[in-house]
Structure 1
């Protein structure tokens, strides 16, 4: 057999390996290999690069492909390399469309069988609608979204149309830990992302870490860029010196959610308001004096949160659709002005300091405050705000009952204080539809005399009404004092619909004290036969 005929034989038998899917072994006697060659291919399914790689390894070992004899193997040993390259090039397109799965769990009779599985030419994610792809990219960290540009040519600029850019605390910490996040690096990265971005930016979160910034000139430029790109949600957290919000932000007519931390809130002189703003959260914000007398119209505002803000007296707004109001540790708050909304159903009011520590204090009584909350369903009040409501003698029954209140949370409550006790009992008497009561106790000073509070709780007319709708009571940080135990006894005796009563003692109490509290509580009479007592370990 001449050399040209030998090359044809090798090429034909190599195609059997690729196209026939027949498993040819290099082992066995020449007669066995010849019988396998005569039997021919068992299937017509093309194989893949894995089979080609396996075949090339057999050629390099000097084996025989297609059942050639030992004499043919000696002849093919020096020429099969070139032939192998030719048929590999010819079948490259076909082999890229299929792949072979080798099952490691097949029995001894099926170890060499191959399963052929079709693979699509394009990935499924690339065929998804662009809006869905943008939604997926927005769920990823910003650095991972940008890295998708190296996947393929079609993905190179896919991230540039995302509607949300989030440079949050996770982003800042990740670069800071790598040691490559200085002032220039922080500004350069955000500038590059904004420069390459295309289309509107609906959501923008910016966390400015505690790095040395000469000025906020770059931040002002970013705010100006956002105001021209239809931003609807802006979250700005600043850990540097207080940042004065530029006038560009107030020109964002599409803005629906705004959260600012450590900023100056200074509106333009002719600013009338944000007509589409629905949620406003301000933390460590200074309103200054420029807002005095200027009323900001927020007709769509539904949620307002003020945390440790300054000069709140100068923050004058008109929000007729306000539903949720939270004020924590804000000086100069004109509460009655902020409560001027008939839609308010969630209110959280916490001073966190005695009323004497504030520059301006608004003296209001309980009846006046509740008259501004005709639809409130959830009320959160801390101990200092409770005490501030005692501007005059607390009546047993208010002129108008709180028929809408369903959940009451008394935070840092001190039962040994008679003023707080009277306000709490007044809430219970006038809340006809109260369903859930949460009380978080605060540790009282040892010099406080709890005798008057204990005597008042033991009097027969302390709570001369039944809490017919009360179903759940949760008491936390229980110290085990006599007024606290008497208050629990009072609630159990006046709650005929009670289902769950959960008690969590304070972490400062020892094991013996916790056992004594549980023993005393279990002996109290219950008006509800379905009441279940739950005693939790504070360490869990």
Structure 2
């Protein structure tokens, strides 16, 4: 009997592990499987309730696609069940729901989360066929947030909103928010270090509700990394009258933009931000194609930017390069002002033929331009072809 007890104890090594180790292990498996571990032993029955990372998505419920109503309510019930029994802080919470008929239930879930005030990282995506999901007022009570990612949401900030004082990272993907609300949101996040804004057509950033590219950066005095892409409103880049912001962006290290260098306002706005960021370490641009006549690029002359000193820039990357004159002049300007630059990589657009590429290389050899860094690698590449899937 003693031998059997010894064998049984030695075979159950998992149950003998400390609680924090078991919780760590559970975070590496789907939450559906983590819940199933409660039947393994009395010791494991409630281990999942201390998991600090929770992921809720459509894979949580194993129901056939023709049972949509059942799947919808099983998903909601499961989320409530986990959250009600959960103990301790939640370091990371991911919710992805692709059912447009459970808006009221989602509101109740967020209301419950707002009462705990212990969520640090929240990734929230709701895909609806009939429009975006409007965040309820209770969402703005998640004061402990440090990282927030929203997708397909509508934001209308309530009057009692005092900001997310702990927020360090913010990601907006297809988020509907007007200019006034956006500026108020950003200003209310004093510790914000990373900001990503992707994929919203800014039609309402004009008139009394105006917000320009430069205005946006005025709301980000402590930001270290910015990623902005897929904007097509010309008024968003208008109104730049100076080469620098009044308050420099001394913390900005990484700048990622999708820009069109066929429009002088966009170039001027972009250069204003770069010229106001003395500690930039990486610049990455994805160029947009434009149709129209080229303009005078004399304002990109390095001599006109005697005060531009990119003493910390080490990497310049440009994709979708069309070989427009403003694009090349911009590259020359940056390389002439970056003494510590290690690599300048240009990936050509698919529309660039081999003949144009050869001519571009010949022009660079015949007309060398000044470089502040003699050790910088200047790389020109063609876009990589995606692998063709076999039928």
TM-score (norm 2): 0.74
CA–CA distance in structure 2, aligned partners of residues 502 and 538 of structure 1: 12
- Determine the structure 2 residue equivalent to 1:536: 381
**Is the Cα–Cα contact under 8 Å of residues 322 and 349 in structure 2 kept in the other structure?**
yes
- Determine the structure 1 residue equivalent to 2:257: 410
Q: CA RMSD in A?
A: 4.2
- Determine the structure 2 residue equivalent to 1:427: 273
Give, in angstroms, the shift of residue 502 of structure 1: 0.7
Give, in angstroms, the shift of residue 472 of structure 1: 1.6
- Determine the structure 1 residue equivalent to 2:186: 338
Give, in angstroms, the shift of residue 420 of structure 1: 1.5
TM-score (norm 1): 0.56
- Determine the structure 1 residue equivalent to 2:134: 264
54, 70, 74: which one pairs with 1:184?
Answer: 70
**Closer/same/farther in 2, CA of residues 278 and 344 from structure 1, 3 Å limit:** closer
CA–CA distance in structure 2, aligned partners of residues 352 and 189 of structure 1: 29
CA–CA distance in structure 1, aligned partners of residues 148 and 164 of structure 2: 10
150, 154, 167: which one pairs with 1:286?
Answer: 154
452, 466, 471: which one pairs with 2:296?
Answer: 452
CA–CA distance in structure 2, aligned partners of residues 206 and 494 of structure 1: 45
CA–CA distance in structure 2, aligned partners of residues 130 and 486 of structure 1: 60
**Closer/same/farther in 2, CA of residues 119 and 126 from structure 1, 3 Å limit:** closer
Give, in angstroms, the shift of residue 406 of structure 1: 3.0
Q: Secondary structure at the match of 2:265?
A: helix
- CA deviations over 1:206-243 (Å, ceiling 9, x no partner): 543448x5x6676677x3xxxxxxxxxxxxxxxxxxxx
CA–CA distance in structure 1, aligned partners of residues 69 and 302 of structure 2: 68
Q: Secondary structure at the match of 2:153?
A: coil
Which sections of structure 1, spanning at least 5 residues, go unmatched? Answer: 1-91, 98-117, 224-244, 313-329
**Closer/same/farther in 2, CA of residues 336 and 450 from structure 1, 3 Å limit:** farther
**Closer/same/farther in 2, CA of residues 440 and 480 from structure 1, 3 Å limit:** same
Deviates most, 464-473 or 498-507 = 464-473
- CA deviations over 1:376-407 (Å, ceiling 9, x no partner): 33334456578524325x22355454444333
Q: Secondary structure at the match of 2:317?
A: strand
Which sections of structure 2, spanning at least 5 residues, go unmatched? Answer: 127-132, 386-391
**Closer/same/farther in 2, CA of residues 390 and 309 from structure 1, 3 Å limit:** same
Indicate yes or no: 2:308 matched with 1:463.
no
Give, in angstroms, the shift of residue 331 of structure 1: 5.8
CA–CA distance in structure 1, aligned partners of residues 219 and 48 of structure 2: 48
**Closer/same/farther in 2, CA of residues 162 and 345 from structure 1, 3 Å limit:** closer
Indicate yes or no: 2:198 matched with 1:361.
no
- Determine the structure 2 residue equivalent to 1:520: 363
CA–CA distance in structure 2, aligned partners of residues 532 and 386 of structure 1: 34
**Closer/same/farther in 2, CA of residues 462 and 298 from structure 1, 3 Å limit:** closer
Give, in angstroms, the shift of residue 426 of structure 1: 2.9
Q: Secondary structure at the match of 1:480?
A: coil
Q: Secondary structure at the match of 2:332?
A: helix
**Closer/same/farther in 2, CA of residues 187 and 201 from structure 1, 3 Å limit:** farther
- Determine the structure 2 residue equivalent to 1:130: 19
Indicate yes or no: 2:188 matched with 1:302.
no
Greater Rg over alpha carbons, structure: 1
Give, in angstroms, the shift of residue 477 of structure 1: 0.7
